[in-house]
Amino acid sequence: MSIQFGPDYVRAIAPYQGGKPIAEVAREFGLDEARIVKLASNENPLGMPDSSKQAMLAAMADLARYPDSNGFELKAAISKKFGVPADCITLGNGSNDILELAAHALVQPGQAVVYSQYSFAVYPLATQAVGGRAIVVPAVNFGHDLAAMAAAITPDTRLVFVANPNNPTGTFIDAAEIEAFIRAVPAHVVIVLDEAYTEYLNPQQRYDSLAWVSQYPNLLVSRSMSKAYGLAGLRIGFGIAQPALTDLLNRIRQPFNVNSLAQAAAIAALHDTAFLARSAQVNAEGYQQLTTAFDAMGIEYLPSSGNFVLIRVGTDDGAGARVNLALLKQGVIVRPVGNYGLPQWLRISIGLPAENAAFLAALKNALA
């Protein structure tokens, strides 16, 4: 009999399934990489900001040195832009790192973590990695049922994840509802408010979660620079919480979790308000382009506040995989969401106008 390494709860983890890489699809389907359209990972279709590229080129000169472990300049830039003290900031290797740090710092094996059905795939992963017990609360209209989530909290619950907007459904919860939820959650439970897509919210939806941080010691707001800031490949995100919680997260953080190039690029991107505005603009226009076509084609979709749209491509549970394959054969990569329990749906990241058009043409073929 062979030895089984590690705890049962680690062996039980199903690996994260990301968007298929362009090179892999080109190889598998015999396609030209240059003609493949990837709308699968909620990446920024504008690419990275030029300002970040320039900052990275300058930072290249110093790559024999370790990064600044405390990210002094990057924290100063975050501090200035968002009006939060530096001792409230945790830097992460992507905001994924922040989610994991929270689970590792707060949850012991057997303790509970609450999150919603149809919410971000990393919440179960982070929970299982520490032997936590997941309490998955059924969604309402594909979004968070915050009242049920508050009611689901047990004495041994240590963490609650809330994504706003949510991935993969794009659903949005308004400020009043979130703040009422934060007030309803017991003080010993930390709420991670995951705002990876907050930069795409329209002016009516916007709210100031960072102001809540100074009021609620158990709130951790998580932000990503992978989406609207266009830096997914560099892995950079950050968490904002009061100093006591921030200190805890920083104790278990890898000393050099954010590399020098990422720090330099992030500082430039935070200053590049023109790029951020253009990202939001291109996204809003792409959303119109896609949803207008979906309406014309009679395709059901969920109204989305993010940079992606979830569409229903059939009424049988093979539909998502079938239409996904038909799209791949035409060189269009989107995201099947069967692993989220949504086998009739596909998630489409919003691209540039020509990419959206190529996807729509391929979708029409696939459904014909």
Ligand X SMILES: *Cc1c(COP(=O)(O)O)cnc(C)c1O
Q: How far apart are CA 268 and CA 198, in angstroms?
A: 19
**331 φ/ψ sector (left φ>0, alpha ψ -120 to 50, else beta):** left
Q: Is 234 in the site for ligand X (CB under 6 A)?
A: no
**The two structure tokens encoding residue 11:** 């062996």
* Least distance (Å) between residue 96 CB and ligand X: 3
- Cβ closest to ligand X, residue 120 vs residue 359: 120
DSSP secondary structure of 83-107: T--GGGEEEESSHHHHHHHHHHHH-
Write the CB contacts of 51 (distance below 8 Å, at least 6 apart in sequence): 268, 269, 271, 272, 275
Contacting range for ligand X; rule: CB under 6 A; set: 58-66, 224-232, 284-292, 351-359: 224-232
**The two structure tokens encoding residue 80:** 């200035």
* Least distance (Å) between residue 295 CB and ligand X: 25
> Could you tell me how many residues of this chain bind ligand X (CB under 6 A)?
13
Q: Is 96 in the site for ligand X (CB under 6 A)?
A: yes
Q: Which long-range contacts (CB under 8 A, 24 or more apart) does 291-299 make?
A: 293/360, 297/363, 297/364, 297/367, 299/363
Q: Before 67, cis peptide (omega within 30)?
A: no
- Cβ closest to ligand X, residue 25 vs residue 101: 101
Please report, as residue ranges, which positions from 143 to 172 form the binding site for ligand X (by CB under 6 A).
Answer: 163, 167
- Cβ closest to ligand X, residue 84 vs residue 99: 99
- Cβ closest to ligand X, residue 163 vs residue 366: 163
Q: Is 94 in the site for ligand X (CB under 6 A)?
A: yes
Among 90, 127, 218, 226, binds ligand X (CB under 6 A): 226
Residue nearest to ligand X (CB): 94
**The two structure tokens encoding residue 104:** 């590792």
Please report, as residue ranges, which positions from 61 to 90 form the binding site for ligand X (by CB under 6 A).
Answer: none
* Least distance (Å) between residue 229 CB and ligand X: 10
Among 116, 127, 218, 224, binds ligand X (CB under 6 A): 224
Q: How far apart are CA 351 and CA 308, in angstroms?
A: 9
Q: How far apart are CA 217 and CA 107, in angstroms?
A: 17
Q: What are residue 301's DSSP bridge partners?
A: 311
Among 107, 153, 196, 266, binds ligand X (CB under 6 A): 196
**Would you give the binding string for ligand X spanning residues 98-137, x where CB under 6 A is met?**
----------------------x-----------------
Interface residues toward ligand X, by CB under 6 A: 42, 94-96, 120, 163, 167, 194, 196, 224, 226, 232, 237
